[in-house]
């Protein structure tokens, strides 16, 4: 059961030389990289203590992004619909997920697909959820939060990322309401 802490994720792909705003890993010309889950959880915990943000993005390329999301028992999932298709792998924990108007329970080992722009969120977290999140193409929320932390306004962020101003405004508003900004 404790094997999930030693789970190693191998990601093989090629990154183009495009500007990346949020740089979760220093090697930008990566062709192959192995990530140790225990180390990723330490980095996620460090980020959470510094910013109160549960989601830690450890990988971003021009074609995909991936991160670790940790939601404590009884916690709140602040998700908004994304502009990316997503796959969630429940590394550990249990709770429920609502996708559009359908709900189902989730537990360790479950794999969940959510299409882009579909409202969804985890709820009724009965045991701390540790979730591997994979998005394609990469989600803009981490870049929006990164630029917001640099004191740019919503319109400047929208212009830089070439994202609709309403999307930026909704994400910033939601994260402010949750006390994450």
Collapsing DSSP to helix, strand or coil, 167 comes out as helix
- The reply to whether 37 and 110 lie within a common domain is yes
Measure the CA–CA gap between 171 and 109, rounded to whole angstroms.
29
- The secondary structure of residue 151, as a DSSP letter, is T
Percentage of the chain modeled with pLDDT above 70: 80
What CATH number corresponds to the domain at position 55?
A: 2.60.120.10
- The reply to whether 128 and 157 lie within a common domain is no
- The reply to whether 62 and 127 lie within a common domain is yes
What range does the domain containing 157 cover? 140-181
Q: What is the pTM of this model?
A: 0.67
Q: What is the pLDDT of residues 82-129, one digit of tens each?
A: 778 999 999 999 999 999 999 999 999 999 999 988 889 999 999 999
- The reply to whether 131 and 168 lie within a common domain is no
- The reply to whether 121 and 173 lie within a common domain is no
Q: What is the pLDDT of residues 54-64, one digit of tens each?
A: 888 888 777 88
> Number of folded domains in the chain?
2
- The reply to whether 115 and 105 lie within a common domain is yes
- The reply to whether 153 and 134 lie within a common domain is no
- Model confidence band, residue 29 (pLDDT cutoffs 50, 70, 90): low
Closest CA relative to residue 86, chosen from 103, 65, 71, 58: 65
- The reply to whether 67 and 24 lie within a common domain is yes
Handedness of CA 21, 114, 102, 126 (dihedral sign): negative
Collapsing DSSP to helix, strand or coil, 39 comes out as helix
Handedness of CA 144, 148, 150, 154 (dihedral sign): positive
Measured from the Cβ of residue 34, the count of other Cβ atoms closer than 10 Å reads 9
């Amino acid at each position: 059961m404790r094997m999930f802490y030693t789970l190693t994720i191998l990601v093989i792909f090629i990154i183009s030389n495009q500007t990346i705003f949020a740089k979760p890993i220093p090697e930008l010309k990566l062709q192959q990289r192995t990530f140790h889950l225990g180390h990723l959880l330490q980095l996620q915990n460090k980020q959470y203590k510094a910013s109160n943000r549960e989601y830690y993005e450890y990988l971003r390329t021009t074609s995909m992004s991936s991160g670790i999301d940790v939601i404590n028992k009884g916690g709140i999932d602040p998700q908004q619909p994304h502009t990316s298709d997503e796959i969630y792998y429940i590394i550990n924990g249990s709770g429920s997920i609502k996708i559009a108007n359908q709900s189902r329970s989730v537990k360790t080992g479950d794999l969940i697909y959510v299409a882009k722009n579909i409202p969804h969120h985890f709820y009724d977290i009965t045991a701390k959820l540790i979730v591997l999140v994979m998005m394609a193409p990469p989600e803009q929320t981490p870049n929006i939060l990164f630029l917001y932390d640099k004191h740019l306004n919503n319109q400047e962020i929208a212009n830089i990322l070439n994202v609709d101003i309403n999307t930026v405004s909704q994400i910033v508003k939601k994260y402010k309401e949750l006390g994450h900004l």
